[in-house]
Homo-oligomer: A and B are copies of this chain.
Amino acid sequence: MTSTDKLPTRRENFSEWYNQIVQRAELADYAPVRGCMVVRPYGWALWENIQGALDRRFKATGHVNAAFPLLIPKSFLEKEKEHVEGFSPELAVVTIGGGETLEEPLIIRPTSETIIGHMYSKWIKSYRDLPVLINQWGNVVRWELRTRLFLRTLEFYWQEGHTAHATSEEAEAETRRMLDVYADFAINEAAVPVVSGLKSDKEKFAGAVRSYTIEAMMGDTRALQSGTSHFLGQNFAKAFDIQFLDWNNEMQYAWTTSWGLSTRFIGAVIMTHGDDQGLVLPPRLAPIQVVVIPIYKSDQEKSLVMESVERVRAELAGFRIKVDDRPEVTPGFKFNDWEMRGVPLRIEIGPKDVAKDSVALARRDIPGKAGKSFASQQNLAQQVAQILEDIHTSLHIRALAFRQANTYDPVDYPELVEAVTHGWAYAWWCESPECEAKVKDETKATTRCIPLDQPDRTGSCIVCGKPARRKVIFARAY
């Protein structure tokens, strides 16, 4: 594969389109260990921008960061019954340390509820110590069998928030607050529209009382779980003895939550906005927001053009900007290259532009002539800011329209079966595991979430016809 080979279109082979984009745009690469990835500088810069946008929101809602250990005694996982059942098959186990066989094997954290629960039981003594609102940025390992870059890898990067509260109500409010933070981030930073909802019991986190999720529709209409927030009740507090003296001087178990968003979200960004030319990055997260390409044919033109380029670079210093002045490739090559890498806005400056004191602009989100315009070099920063805002909005609107166009309201089971072959089905469900399992067995579609926004009425289950309180989204998912 070289970068001159043609990218498959999304329609031809969405999966292969994705794999090639990730590698060609140098977002990530395969590591020598099966299922592990290397996040390359361009991909990591995108993750750093995601981190920044989330971290600001976490801190604004009173959270602080900390770091808990990578290695956890195996016995810890066994303290919460559902948790161990969920994670046991996926563990990486360290059995040798410093040349000796360990007395107790250690697992590499697949998630940190257990080790953090252990520490919280040490730190929390009184209601005055609550709430504890801690987040951690780090890596975890889950021994997945079928892996894909960003979407499912043995090691991945994420943040995991872990909070402890004095009351159930407060913990539930925190769970929902962080779900809202995720939705706000997805929509307002990544331009990825999401549906906020509740997971079914079958799909919830192992050890949670309730799990909430934000679900996004990818370009092939499959769903991608993009962030989750769990109300853990007193399950982990009881397993790890997190108790505190309450206002009446009585011992109580704390109520805990956990919530996480991972490098998987990069997959959501790629598959929501990308097109047949490659990546399309949302401006607020793009590592490079503006690429400037000088165009000239002679040394004389070059010096003229580069003078303008430097002025533009200075004027746009407030943006993440790159000037591509590589002498060894043509402007045409550069256009294609940066298009493939998803840079939101391209600025071209040639001798004619210099003469007119203008620049040529090309929006990544609108291919061809329709996305092109000219702008005066005067007040360029203001114009660029406006265009980047417009791109953000237009990406969001387009993705939302795509989701709406591909979300169906089936009236009977055959319509549901048909709908999930090419979209989401938003249907009444009686909430029985049997009906959920039947759909999954017969269509491969799972319940993605019971949206928080529900119609003001009840209905009949699309599968069994029994009364249904709420509608659910059925979809094939990543």
Query: Which A residues are closer than 8 A to B by beta carbons?
Result: 29, 31-33, 36-41, 43-45, 47-48, 64-73, 76, 88-99, 105-106, 108, 115, 118-119, 122-123, 128, 134, 138-139, 141, 143, 145, 154-155, 157, 328
Report the bound CA distance from A134 to B139 in whole Å: 19
Chain B residue nearest to A102 (CB atoms) is B92
Chain B CB within 10 Å — which of A105, A134, A141 has the most? A141
- B95 with A93: CB separation less than 8 A: yes
A45: B residues at CB distance < 8 A: 64-65
Whether A29 and B143, one on each chain, are in contact in the complex, defined by CB atoms closer than 8 angstroms, is: no
Copies in the complex: 2
**Which of A32, A91, A108 has the largest count of B CB atoms less than 10 A from its CB?**
A32
In the complex the two chains form, what is the Cα distance from A72 to B123 in whole Å? Answer: 35
Cβ–Cβ < 8 Å partners of A105 in chain B: 96
Among A67, A73, A89, A122, chain B packs the most CB atoms within 10 A around the CB of A67
A-B residue pairs in contact (CB < 8 Å), sample of 12: A29-B119, A29-B123, A33-B72, A36-B71, A39-B66, A44-B64, A70-B108, A70-B155, A71-B92, A71-B155, A92-B98, A94-B95
B73 touches A32 (CB 8 A): yes
Tell me what chain A mostly uses at the interface: helix, strand, loop, or mixed. Answer: mixed
A139 to B71, CA, bound (A): 11
- Whether A139 and B33, one on each chain, are in contact in the complex, defined by CB atoms closer than 8 angstroms, is no
Minimal beta-carbon separation of A29 from chain B (angstroms)? 7
Ranked 5 nearest A-B pairs via Cβ: A98-B143, A41-B64, A93-B96, A39-B67, A36-B69
Our pick among B38, B40, B98 for the contact of A91 (Cβ within 8 Å) is B98
Cβ A70 vs Cβ B139 within 8 A: yes
| Chain B, Cβ-Cβ closest to A75 | B32
A67-B97 contact given A29-B122, A119-B29, CB 8 Å threshold: no
CB distance from A163 to the nearest CB of B (A): 13
A145 to B97, CA, bound (A): 10
What's the least CB distance linking A195 to chain B, in Å? 30
Tell me, rounded to whole Å, the shortest Cβ–Cβ distance linking A77 to chain B: 13
Residues of B within 8 Å of A128, CB to CB, are 328
Known: A29-B119, A32-B115, A32-B118. Is A37-B93 also a contact (CB below 8 A)? no
**Nearest-CB residue, chain B, relative to A114:** B32
The answer to whether A65 touches B41 (Cβ under 8 A) is yes
User: Could you tell me the distance in whole angstroms from the C-beta of A42 to the nearest C-beta in chain B?
Assistant: 8
Residue of B whose beta carbon sits closest to that of A116? B38
Seed contacts A38-B68, A38-B119; 18 additional CB < 8 Å A-B pairs: A29-B123, A31-B68, A32-B73, A32-B76, A33-B69, A41-B64, A41-B65, A41-B66, A44-B66, A45-B65, A70-B108, A70-B141, A91-B98, A92-B94, A93-B96, A95-B95, A98-B145, A139-B139
- Closest B residue to A105 by CB, please name it: B96
A419 to chain B, nearest CB (A): 35
Instruction: Considering the complex, give the chain B residue whose CB is closest to the CB of A138.
Output: B139
Is the beta-carbon distance between B94 and A99 smaller than 8 angstroms? no
A97 with B37: CB separation less than 8 A: no
**Which of B48, B68, B93, B139 is within 8 Å of A94, CB to CB?**
B93
Q: Measured between alpha carbons, how far is A224 from B128 in the docked complex, in Å?
A: 39
A29 to B48, CA, bound (A): 28
- Tell me, in angstroms, the Cα distance from A99 to B33 when the chains sit together: 17
Q: Is the CB of A69 within 8 A of B106?
A: no
**B residues near A65, Cβ cutoff 8 Å:** 41, 44-45, 48
A423 to B31, CA, bound (A): 47
Tell whether, in the assembled complex, residue A69 and residue B37 are in contact, meaning their CB atoms are under 8 Å apart: yes
Complex CA–CA separation, A155 to B68 (angstroms): 10
